[in-house]
Amino acid sequence: MHTPLKIAITGCSQGLGHALLEEFVKAGHTVAGCSRSSTKMQQLSEQFGEPHFFKAVDVSQEAEVAKWADELITQIGVPDLVINNAAIINQLRPLWEVPVSEFQKLVDINIVGVQSVIRHVLPAMIEQGSGVMINLSSGWGRSVSPEVAPYCASKWAIEGLTQALATELPPGMAAIPLSPGVIATDMLRQAWGEEGVAGYRTPAQWAVQAAPFILSLGAQHNGQSLTTPG
């Protein structure tokens, strides 16, 4: 019988975050989640109830992240596992046609948001002396394609940021950049269209394998650039 973990997930209202949330709850773990949608967070609160904790948070706003971090530690305790999943993709176009405002929003969510969560949650984990910080990367954090340069830039940043963080952690902890592989998410539909994602696993199908894999990660994987199986 596994020991129940305390898990925090950003961007848990849909896609990969929501699929992982359901698998973790099903397996008996306690989850604190956030997303920008107050409606969906209320729905999750009603669906799962205590001890789980869900709140509307825009990770690009540090004050909101700071408050959420304090509240989740109060509600569920210091997390054993944090998954920085919240991210957006740019509208498909050449880099020189991407408006500054769109580029800035993507950077603020995909990179600054991750650092804000690390900044406000990780110190308690370090004090506890254990924990795993997983930052969701992408195949586009290790390769490139046209018309998604801002997204590629953000995920390449996540790879470097996470591997650098791994060198700063005390023994017994881990920071891991994790690529989910190619999954039929709404984000991928935005990039490839409905036909483009045909045949790929749904988030729910992916999470059946991904959740136990993520739960198996520990200090021995610190700094490793990994991809979920399948």
User: Does residue 123 lie in a domain region?
Assistant: yes
Q: Which phi and psi angles does 19 have, rounded to 5°?
A: -65, -40
Q: Is residue 64 in some structural domain? A: yes
pLDDT of residue 34: 98
Which residues touch 145 (CB under 8 Å, ≥6 apart)?
Answer: 152
200 has catalytic annotation: no
pTM: 0.95
Domain-located, residue 99: yes
pLDDT digits (tens, 9 = 90+) for 143-191: 999 999 999 999 999 999 999 999 999 999 999 999 998 876 666 677 7
Catalytic residue among 53, 68, 151, 206: 151
89 burial class (0-12, 13-18, 19+ CB within 10 angstroms)?
buried
Q: What does DSSP assign to residue 172?
A: T
Strands (E), the chain: 6-10, 30-35, 53-56, 81-84, 131-136, 173-179, 226-227
Whether residue 222 lies inside any domain: the answer is no
What total number of domains does the chain contain?
1
Domain containing residue 113: 6-213
Rounded distance, CA 165 to CA 169, Å? Answer: 7
Backbone φ and ψ of 173, nearest 5°: -120, 170
Report the CATH number that the domain containing residue 45 is assigned in CATH. Answer: 3.40.50.720
